[in-house]
């Protein structure tokens, strides 16, 4: 039963909202999960298969690269564990310098003993300097927090790649990802230090994110293959790619805030905040002699322009074909390269980029023969803000005036992980639950297991 409320997007936030509210979830794709969706590919076969193949002789990847579940409300984490068995991990991550072949554990500022003394000594001295004027851009924040030495060595070139050149202009953001702690930096120049950052530990479903998404979707009313292309805010109708329409009273949207503003035709005073798109190249390959044990690496420079390399199979061997899980002679990898969204490469350019990335990983000794190479494109991958921007608040207020409410990571234009996105969906969905739904909702017996979608 519905009161005219619809939920847009069957990613993790939209699925949680669908569970909490009981309202229909409208999804553009033919399966749930959004960018948090696993798929499998066999060597020599271009077809994508959901999750894992029957004989498991396939590499498993994710739609938008490695999405590990970190942090989160304890109740949300308990919900995830009850739906899908998970494994627990302690982060293994480094900064990799291709020119020298050297590694420094992440965060680099806490592991200066891995760097040459000529770098470590001035880096400590610069980090010890009292802060100057407040930073208005990410570039200013990077240089003020870490000093010239570490900025030139790693932070500036990495952020140049990570933000596709925006870091010189956008506001400081997500400082907690690489915290500055002079005491730990001093200790790390001499000895081991405790892990730091927002993702020191994480969990991941044993059967992949598609297992979690599928089991969440089984508790919702999801309508697949229904791509919204426009909102008629005067008559309150959704317009779909197939030409059909659907009336609504209210919409709870998890779609990117900028896209919803474009589809409604609304505008506000402040200019829209920027974002970067990401080309994720998933690779299944024979393992190279110099392939690291890290879960992921941050890269300040690469000939192919990528900023991060992740190793699915270093997190869990279930990402490998079953025959390679004991031998350890293969590896499942994702590589991220950021782009300005208006400069999306065409099919030929993407193929060339994939070839360049494979060649470079082979030169580094990370891989030998590539058996599977598959690119995915995430149009709104990382969201940023102009200094002093009020655009997200203005945009959401304009949408609310016409019955459209935004929630989730992209809906509210902020960075957060899967667990927090699920929390947002539960909170927003509960607020949108109708009285009629409350009266009609069946009561689940205590201890009853959720429906298994797979």
Domains and CATH numbers, the chain: 1-84+208-271+389-447 (3.40.50.720), 93-188 (no CATH)
Instruction: Provide the β-strand partners of residue 258.
Output: none
Max intra-chain CA distance, the chain: 70
The rounded distance, in Å, linking the Cα atoms of 134 and 145 is 11
Distance of alpha carbon 291 from alpha carbon 301, whole angstroms? 18
452 or 298, higher pLDDT:
298
pLDDT band at 176 (very low <50, low <70, confident <90, very high): low
Query: What is the average pLDDT value for the chain, to the nearest integer?
Result: 92
Sheet containing 59-62: which strands, arranged edge to edge? Answer: 49-50, 38-41, 59-62
pLDDT at 452 over 50: no
Q: What contacts 345, CB < 8 A, 6 or more positions away?
A: 279, 339, 353
pLDDT category of residue 402 using cuts at 50, 70 and 90: very high
Per-residue pLDDT tens for 284-336? 999 999 999 999 999 999 999 999 999 999 999 999 999 999 998 999 999 99
At residue 131, the pLDDT reads 77
Euclidean distance between CA atoms 165 and 271, whole angstroms: 19
What pLDDT score was predicted for residue 150?
Answer: 96
**What pLDDT does residue 26 have?**
98
Region 144-173: mean pLDDT is 95
> What confidence tens digit (pLDDT) does each residue in 373-395 have?
999 999 999 999 999 999 999 99
Residue 178 reports pLDDT greater than 90: no
Residues whose CB falls within 8 Å of the CB of residue 396, separated by 6 or more in sequence, listed in order: 257, 405, 406, 412
Return the pLDDT at 449: 37
Dist. CA 402–CA 423, nearest whole Å: 25
pLDDT in the model for residue 436: 52
Mean pLDDT on 119-127: 94
Burial annotation 353-382 (CB, 10 A radius, 16+ → b, else e): bbebbbebbeebebbbebbbbbbbebebbb
Distance (Å, whole) CA 96 – CA 117: 18
Higher-confidence residue of 7 and 446: namely: 7
pLDDT tens for each residue of 191-230: 999 988 888 999 999 888 989 999 999 999 999 999 999 9
Q: Which two tokens stand for residue 93?
A: 């991550």
Of 126, 165, 119, 128, nearest to 143 by C-alpha is 126
Q: Report pLDDT for 180.
A: 83
pLDDT grade for 446, boundaries at 50, 70 and 90? very low
Nearest one of 342, 284, 279 to 313, comparing CA atoms: 284
Q: Is the confidence at residue 2, as pLDDT, over 80?
A: no
Tell me the average pLDDT across 79-108.
95
Banded pLDDT at 186 (limits 50, 70, 90): very high
Query: Which residues are 62's β-sheet partners?
Result: 38
Listing DSSP states for 67-135 in one string gives: --B-S--HHHHHHHHHHS-EEEEE--EEEEETTTTEEEESSGGG-GGGS-HHHHHHHHHHHTSPP-SPP
Q: What is the dihedral of CA 350, 356, 361, 362, to 10 degrees?
A: 130
CA nearest to 166, candidates 20, 343, 410, 45:
343
Task: Please report, for the chain, how many H helices and E strands are present, in that order.
Answer: 13, 20
- Asked whether residue 414 carries a pLDDT value surpassing 90, the answer given is yes
Average pLDDT estimate for 273-277: 97
| pLDDT score at 346 | 96
Percent of the chain with pLDDT over 70: 93
* pLDDT band, residue 93 (cuts 50/70/90): very high
- Sheet of strand 222-223: strand arrangement: 222-223, 25-26, 5-8, 250-253, 404-406
Rounded to an integer, the average pLDDT of 59-85 is: 93
What percent of the chain stands above pLDDT 90?
82
Distance separating alpha carbons of residues 422 and 427, to the nearest angstrom = 9
The whole model's pTM is what?
A: 0.91
DSSP one-letter code for 358: H
First to last CA, the chain: 25
pLDDT for 435 equals 61
Residue with tokens 């803000």: 385
- pLDDT reading at 437 higher than 90: no
Query: Is pLDDT at 1 greater than 80 in this prediction?
Result: no
């Amino acid at each position: 039963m519905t009161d005219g409320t619809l939920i847009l997007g069957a990613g993790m936030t939209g699925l949680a909202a669908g569970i909490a509210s009981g309202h229909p979830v409208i999804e553009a794709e033919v399966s749930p999960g959004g960018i948090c969706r696993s798929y499998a590919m066999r060597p020599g076969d271009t077809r994508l298969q959901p999750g894992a193949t029957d004989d498991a002789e396939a590499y498993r990847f994710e739609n938008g690269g490695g999405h590990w579940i970190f942090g989160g409300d304890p109740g949300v984490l308990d919900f995830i564990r009850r739906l899908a068995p998970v494994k627990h991990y302690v982060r293994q991550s480094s900064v990799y310098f291709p020119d020298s072949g050297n590694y420094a554990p992440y965060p680099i500022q806490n592991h200066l003993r891995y760097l040459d003394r000529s770098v470590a000594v001035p880096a400590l001295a610069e980090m010890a300097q009292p802060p100057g004027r407040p930073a208005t851009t990410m570039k200013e924040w990077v240089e003020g927090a870490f000093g010239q030495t570490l900025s030139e060595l790693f932070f500036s070139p990495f952020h140049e790649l990570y933000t596709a050149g925006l870091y010189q202009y956008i506001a400081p953001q997500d400082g907690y990802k690489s915290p500055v702690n002079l005491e730990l930096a001093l200790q790390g120049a001499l000895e081991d230090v405790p892990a730091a950052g927002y993702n020191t530990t994480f969990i991941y479903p044993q059967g992949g994110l598609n297992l979690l998404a599928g089991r969440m979707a089984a508790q919702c009313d999801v309508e697949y293959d229904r791509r919204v292309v426009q909102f008629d805010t005067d008559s309150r109708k959704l317009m779909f790619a197939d030409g059909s329409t659907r009336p609504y009273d209210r919409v709870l949207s998890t779609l990117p805030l900028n896209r919803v503003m474009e589809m409604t035709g609304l505008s506000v005073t402040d200019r829209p905040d920027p974002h970067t798109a990401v080309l994720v190249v998933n690779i299944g390959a024979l393992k190279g002699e110099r392939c690291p044990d890290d879960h992921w690496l941050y890269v300040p420079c690469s000939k192919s322009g990528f900023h991060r390399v992740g190793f699915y199979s270093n997190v869990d061997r279930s990402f490998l074909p079953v025959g390679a899980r004991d031998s350890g002679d293969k590896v499942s990898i994702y590589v991220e390269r950021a782009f300005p969204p208006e400069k999306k490469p065409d099919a030929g350019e993407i193929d060339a980029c994939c070839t360049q990335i494979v060649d470079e990983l082979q030169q580094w000794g990370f891989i030998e023969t590539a058996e599977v190479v598959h690119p995915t494109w995430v149009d709104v991958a990382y969201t940023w803000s102009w200094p002093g921007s009020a655009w997200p608040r203005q945009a959401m207020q304009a949408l609310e005036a016409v019955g459209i409410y935004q929630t989730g990571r992209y809906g509210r234009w902020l960075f957060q992980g899967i667990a927090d996105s699920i929390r947002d969906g539960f909170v927003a969905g509960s607020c949108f639950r109708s009285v009629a739904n409350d009266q009609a909702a069946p009561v689940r017996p205590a201890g009853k297991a959720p429906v298994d979608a797979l």
